[in-house]
Amino acid sequence: MSAEPLPVIRNFVGGTFAEPDEERCLTKTAPATGTPLAQVHEADRTLVDRAVRSARGALADGWAHTPVRERTALLRRAADLIEQRFEEFVAAEVGDTGKPVTQARELDVARAIANFRTFADIVAAAGQDSYLTDLPDGRQALNYAVRKPLGVVAVIVPWNLPLLLLTWKVAPALACGNAVVVKPSEETPSTAALLAEVLADAGLPAGAYNVVHGFGAGSAGEFLVTHPGVDGITFTGSSATGTAVMRAAAPGVRPVSFELGGKNAAIVFDDVDVDEALDGLCRSVFTNTGQVCLCTERVYVHRAVFTDIVDGLAERAGRLRLGDPFSAHTTTGPLISQEHRRKVLRYFDLAEQAGAKVVTGGGTPHLGPALDGGAWIEPTLWTGLTNADRPVREEIFGPVAALIPFDTEEEAIALANDTDYGLAAAVWTNDLRRGHRVAQRMDVGMAWVNTWFLRDLRSPFGGAGLSGIGREGGASSLHFYTEPTNVCVQL
């Protein structure tokens, strides 16, 4: 009996799915099982060029000047259509990533809908800056800025929150009248393709949303960011790739918006409600198998509650349920790939060499024959490491954290800020003054107090240092995706 052919995922250029080129095909495998899921057609330089030209064509054909009310209505229709095809998006996201189906429903696909609705609201309500200027001769001038779309925006996204991050960029870009060429991660091609169908059904003109599949260097990613027809690049991914993309953006002095990695700290004070802090830490260390740029990998704990926090977090880690991602009982999926698992396991070795005590985890689980080909890893906690050790300095991007004791507030702040990254932090305390005080001193883009990953999509999101350039969210997104022209009229 011959095996069923794999589904084929094609590039989307100029409003249609491009004819497949059988010679340039990559096989996408399921992270949970290691079995092939789909054949994905890799875009070559010519197809990427066509995608950029199609985007430029859509702008010239009028998309850039479409009235805001039409663009925002289109975004709302897109949100409604994702809602109608909700379970299809969930299944695609779970298949590609192995993340638990409950998470895909509650976080990933729900946020995609919210991204479209929120940016429709934000763009509809946006005003323009204006200043009445007093002149020396008693007359006045009126200054006002009009915001125009940036043009063709390259959207490069990773595999950890594929649809959430894609729509976080595509929704404001389209709302502002740009055309986009999207390069999803080679690991997660499916939801970007589904989104192409949704946007076409919502009435988006051909060419305003294009998808090119493939890898980064020497493939679709590089062809896109080096294309001179691209006017700006928004990228989420590793700091190393961010550096390469920045180099590619230099000719033409094109603007970039980067959300990169993190090595995020949590600080737990001795006045804390231990159970509440443990619930929060369990989420911040293990959500999405630790594969969120915001996840906590360093936990600084006041010495008075150190043992309670270490034991309590280990106990909660033991309650996580690894297994079939499509089961509603599963809390924790695999890592994205065997390659990524090898990287995380290297840090397990490094931690051992540095003298870490493995409080829980530290290896790969056996989940039965159906799942043993997957990229599974045990949720892992270490003590006995210091800020000098590589597993405490470098982004691991897995379900793992080092717990380190401290004695004073100043020491905790210094330890948390002792990093080349600057993305996020979480402070756990029942003393609200201390919460504000310490959060404000974190050298990060986002500091949470007594919570984690609580998002208001109107607030600025991004990081400093190795964690990125610029902010997106709310007005920050409108600023990145538009170019202002100030008009000065002497009255």
Ligand X SMILES: NC(=O)C1=CN([C@@H]2O[C@H](COP(=O)(O)OP(=O)(O)OC[C@H]3O[C@@H](n4cnc5c(N)ncnc54)[C@H](O)[C@@H]3O)[C@@H](O)[C@H]2O)C=CC1
Which listed option, ligand LM24SWP5, ligand X, none, makes contact with residue 326 (CB within 5 to 8 Å by class)? none
Q: Which is nearer to ligand X, 172 or 205 (CB)?
A: 172
Distance CA 211, CA 184 (A): 8
Q: Which residues of 450-489 are buried (b: 16+ CB within 10 A; e: fewer)?
A: bebbeeebeeebbbebbbbbbbbbbebbbbbbbbeeeeee
Number of residues that bind ligand LM24SWP5 (CB under 6 A): 11
∠ Cα 342 347 352 (to 5°): 125
Give which of 116, 124, 122, 126 is closest to 202, Cα–Cα: 116
Q: Which is nearer to ligand LM24SWP5, 172 or 323 (CB)?
A: 172
Which listed option, ligand LM24SWP5, ligand X, none, makes contact with residue 461 (CB within 5 to 8 Å by class)? ligand LM24SWP5
Q: Which residue among 275, 455, 488, 489 contacts ligand LM24SWP5 (CB under 6 A)? A: 455
Distance CA 83, CA 489 (A): 47
Q: Which residue among 89, 116, 119, 168 contacts ligand LM24SWP5 (CB under 6 A)? A: 168
Q: Which residue among 186, 259, 324, 378 contacts ligand LM24SWP5 (CB under 6 A)? A: 259
**The one segment of 10-18, 88-96, 158-166, 214-222 that binds ligand LM24SWP5 by CB under 6 A:** 158-166
Which listed option, ligand X, ligand LM24SWP5, none, makes contact with residue 161 (CB within 5 to 8 Å by class)? ligand LM24SWP5
What stretch of H or E contains 113? helix 110-125
Which listed option, ligand LM24SWP5, ligand X, none, makes contact with residue 334 (CB within 5 to 8 Å by class)? none
Query: CB within 8 A of 88, min separation 6: which ones?
Result: 194
Q: Which residues bind ligand X (CB under 6 A)?
A: 156-160, 183, 185-186, 215-217, 221-222, 225, 236-238, 241, 244-245, 260-261, 293, 340, 343, 395, 397
Q: What residues form DSSP beta bridges with 28? A: 38
Separation of CA 366 from chain center? 29
Residue type at position 157: V
Residue with the CB atom nearest ligand LM24SWP5 in the bound state = 293
- Residues numbered 300 to 329 that lie near ligand LM24SWP5 (CB under 6 A) are none
Which listed option, ligand X, ligand LM24SWP5, none, makes contact with residue 159 (CB within 5 to 8 Å by class)? ligand X
Q: Which residue among 11, 103, 160, 380 contacts ligand LM24SWP5 (CB under 6 A)? A: 160
Residue type at position 315: E
- Residues numbered 261 to 300 that lie near ligand LM24SWP5 (CB under 6 A) are 292-294
Give which of 148, 155, 186 is closest to 258, Cα–Cα: 155
Distance CA 333, CA 319 (A): 14
Cβ–Cβ < 8 Å for 445, 460: yes
Cβ–Cβ < 8 Å for 315, 361: no
Residue with the CB atom nearest ligand X in the bound state = 216
Residue ranges in contact with ligand LM24SWP5 by CB under 6 A: 160-161, 165, 168, 236, 259, 292-294, 455, 461
